[in-house]
Amino acid sequence: MAKLTADFILERLVENGVKRIYGYPGDGINALIGALERHKDKLKFVQVRHEEQAAFMACAHAKWTGEVGVCMATSGPGAIHLLNGLYDAKLDHQPVMAIVGQQARMGLGGNFQQEVDLVTLFKDVANEYVQMATEAAQVRHLIDRAHRIALDHDRQLNLAAERQPGGAIADRVRLACIGDRERLAHAAAALDVPRLTFRVDAILPPQAQLELLRARVVAPRHKRLA
């Protein structure tokens, strides 16, 4: 018996190091949902209650693990619901891959139920790489390239941040110390890194922002008067 395309897609994801998929079932991805049951020993499917939640969970997975987060939804409105979480990943520069269904090719352009031009829809949020598979032979390079481009884009951004004074420090300190904001504020003032202090201002509560502003502006003015 020939291997199903859905099984091959999941196998390629596993080969690329994917361990979890966050998604919500639907008619457009029924074959993939069935294949997930056959690959449950290698891939964990986290079924959410709404597609938007799947995209946010994939983004959170990428943030906490450094791996590519993968979300899945059906065609039409199901795919549209991914957008909020995908924009969160885009703006936070996190590697996330979205797999969505589509209507049968023979029905495209015929105003079929819930038909949406998904390539155009995702062209902004997934501007690095967005493609539609119309032949089974495409699947290998589509999955491999999507995964590789997601990781490479994230690494390039990290390298660019490290080349800027304080860039990498800002990101790491903000992630590591966001729970201890007072200490983070003192660290920012002591390091005197503009990008770091700007990020600190953005996450501090109003009272702490006033204190930090007083320390930077008022104190130097007294020194000049003295």
Report the C-alpha gap between 198 and 101 in whole angstroms.
41
Report the C-alpha gap between 22 and 211 in whole angstroms.
42
51, 172, 212, 217, 224 from 23: Cα distances, Å? 6, 30, 43, 50, 60
> Which pTM does this prediction carry?
0.67
Report the C-alpha gap between 9 and 5 in whole angstroms.
6
For residue 130, give both structure tokens: 């967005």
Q: Is the domain of 178 the same as that of 154?
A: no
Exposed e or buried b per residue across 40-60, where buried means at least 16 C-beta atoms within 10 angstroms of its C-beta: eeebebeebeebbbbbbbbbb
CATH code (residue 116): 3.40.50.970
**pLDDT tens digits, one per residue of 65-84:** 989 999 999 988 999 999 99
* 181-191 and 206-213 helices, crossing angle to 10°: 20
Q: Is the domain of 201 the same as that of 143?
A: no
**Mind listing the pLDDT tens digit of every residue in the chain (226 residues)?**
678 999 999 999 999 999 999 999 998 899 999 999 999 999 999 999 999 999 999 999 999 998 999 999 998 899 999 999 999 999 998 999 999 988 776 667 666 677 788 889 999 999 889 998 888 899 999 999 999 998 886 555 554 444 444 444 444 444 444 444 555 555 555 555 444 443 444 445 555 655 655 565 544 444 444 3
Q: Is the domain of 17 the same as that of 80?
A: yes
Q: Is the domain of 80 the same as that of 174?
A: no
Q: What pLDDT, on the 0 to 100 scale, is given for residue 152?
A: 82
Report the C-alpha gap between 140 and 138 in whole angstroms.
6
Q: Pick from 150, 143, 192: which is nearest to 169 by CA?
A: 192
Q: Of 161, 193, 209, which one is at a domain's C-terminal end?
A: 161
Are 28 and 101 in contact, with CB atoms under 8 Å apart?
yes
Phi, psi dihedral angles at 98 (to 5 degrees): -115, 130
Q: Is the domain of 138 the same as that of 194?
A: no
Domain that holds residue 181: 165-225
Report the C-alpha gap between 14 and 193 in whole angstroms.
41
Q: Is the domain of 26 the same as that of 62?
A: yes
Pairing of strands 96-100, 69-73: parallel
Element (H, E) at 20: strand 20-23
Q: Is the domain of 96 the same as that of 181?
A: no
Q: Is the domain of 26 the same as that of 133?
A: yes
Q: Is the domain of 109 the same as that of 191?
A: no
Report the domain count for the chain: 2
